Structure 1
Amino acid sequence: MYVRTSEVRGDPTRIDDGTRMVREEIFPAVTGMDGCVGMSLLVDRETGRCIATTSWESEDAMRASADTVRPLRDRAEQVLGSTSGSEVHGWEVAVVHRDHAAPDGACARLTWLSGDPSMVDRAIDMYRMVVLPQIQDMDGFCSASLMVDRAAGRIVGTAAFESREALEATRSAAASIRTGVVRELGATADVEEMEIAFAHLHVPEMA
């Protein structure tokens, strides 16, 4: 499985307009394309940052859709009031574990890691054996995933929780886990916390 992320910073006051467009226009159009299996949208209402993710059965299907998807992305940028365009990345899905569906009001913590490409396989093993067993026991846990860009040495782990309160309550424990992972891999890390505005990615269990 592969996913494409489109990261855009728009006008915070237009987040609801953008979410509505994703739900009513972009989601039906994208999931009608060959090989697409779903879509999700994460938003930060304070900064206007949004991350739209589409899931694909294969890397070929993801790449073949690039030109068809571009006009939809342009339209979303307009609705969101973005003046800087989107940053687009393709990822291999390495791990997915779902305890239950994310309810309304759910939030996610995204941990972005960058390092030498040779660390990617070690990072996947560490996520499966060390990170996932700990975060799935946290109160309010819904699901977790790990996506990798092997060539660039980039990784993003996403952990979804039932509410903003549940997410905030796990910050200290997540920071402790992250410190150990970064030290072991020799990587650098950035963290974001975002609202799950739309969750229909439909990626199968890959734990």
Structure 2
Amino acid sequence: MYVRSIYATGDPAELDGVAEALRTEGRELLSAQPGFRGMGVFVDREIGKLLVGSWWEDEASRQASYENLSERRTEMMAPFAQTMTVDNWEAAVARRADTLGPGAVFRLVRIDVEPSGIDLLVDTFRDTSLPGVQKIPGLAGLSLLIDRGRGRAAIGALYTDRDALTASRGAVAAVRGEITAKARVSTSSVEEFEVVLATAVPHA
């Protein structure tokens, strides 16, 4: 599967209106596009950050949807977004629970990796880290996204609630250290968001 992420920052006072528009009209527009497989909307209301991820069956569907919805997407984001970055990813690993209730939260870890080391990172994550991480209480979904051309990766983790996310920080920090040592990568950022929408996606 393939993923497009949109990361925007702006005035926190304008965030909720745009997030709600994406949750409702945005989801409807994306669902009508061929190859659509799922969507997530995540917010940091205190700082004013918005993260939107959409999942696609293939690269062609991802690109076509971007072009088809370009004008409407710009209109929907305009009230909030003062900065906006669009990235494209390949989903190397995706594990997701079927349902999430109110209060769910999301952690995003951005990783820098040499393009030649992408496969080692994927293997390390899938074979060494994933079995232990999946046992963390409250973990409701996990993904590893990769960008082979630019030497980047992103690990996304869904938790059932804020308490579960908070309790997981120590164990997850240890996993990051393990991945860093075995796959020779570096962590560039760790961010946490509230979940506005997270639909189920097929496993990868």
Alignment TM-score, normalising by the size of structure 2: 0.94
The answer as to 2:192 corresponding to 1:193 is: yes
Residue 23 of structure 1: CA displacement?
A: 1.9
- Cα pair distance change 1:99/1:76, threshold 3 Å: same
CA shift, 1:73, in A, is 2.5
Tell me if the contact between 2:2 and 2:57 (Cα under 8 Å) persists in the aligned partners: yes
Amino acid at match of 1:141: L
Q: Could you say which residue in structure 1 is the equivalent of 2:95?
A: 97
Q: Identity of aligned pairs, percent? A: 32
- Paired with 1:92 and 1:169, the residues of 2 have a C-alpha distance of 29
Question: Hey, what does 1:147 align to over in structure 2?
Answer: 145
Aligned to 1:36: 36
Q: Which amino acid aligns with 2:101?
A: P
CA contact (8 A) 1:7 1:52 kept: yes
The Cα shift of 1:92 comes to: 0.7
Q: Deviations over 1:24-45 (max 9, x none)?
A: 2111011111222221111111
**Counterpart-to-counterpart distance in 2, 1:130 and 1:101:** 26
What 5-or-longer segments of structure 2 have no aligned partner? none
Q: Deviations over 1:41-89 (max 9, x none)?
A: 1111111111111111100111122222222321232132x222x2001
Pick the aligned partner of 1:125 from 109, 123, 126. Answer: 123
Contact kept, 8 Å, 2:107 with 2:190, in 1: the verdict is: yes
Pairwise CA distance, 1:14: 2.2
Q: How many residues in Structure 1 have an aligned counterpart in Structure 2?
A: 203
TM-score, with normalisation over the residues of structure 1?
0.92
Code of the residue aligned with 2:126 in structure 1: it is: R
Question: How big is the shift at 1:2?
Answer: 0.6
Q: Quote the Cα distance in structure 1 between the aligned partners of 2:98 and 2:164.
A: 15
Runs of 4+ more than 6 Å apart = none
Give the structure 2 partner of residue 53 of structure 1: 53
Answering whether residue 43 of structure 2 is matched by residue 17 of structure 1, we say: no
Shift in Å at residue 100 of structure 1?
A: 4.3
Q: CA deviation at 1:182?
A: 1.4
**Aligned-pair RMSD on alpha carbons?**
1.4
* Match status 1:67 vs 2:61: no
Stretch of structure 1 that moved more, 93-102 or 144-153: 93-102
Q: Which deviates further from its counterpart, 110-119 or 69-78?
A: 69-78
Deviation at 1:157, TM superposition (A): 0.8
Amino acid paired to 2:117: M
Q: Partners of 1:164 and 1:59 in 2: how far apart? A: 34
Q: Distance in 1 between matches of 2:186 and 2:180?
A: 6
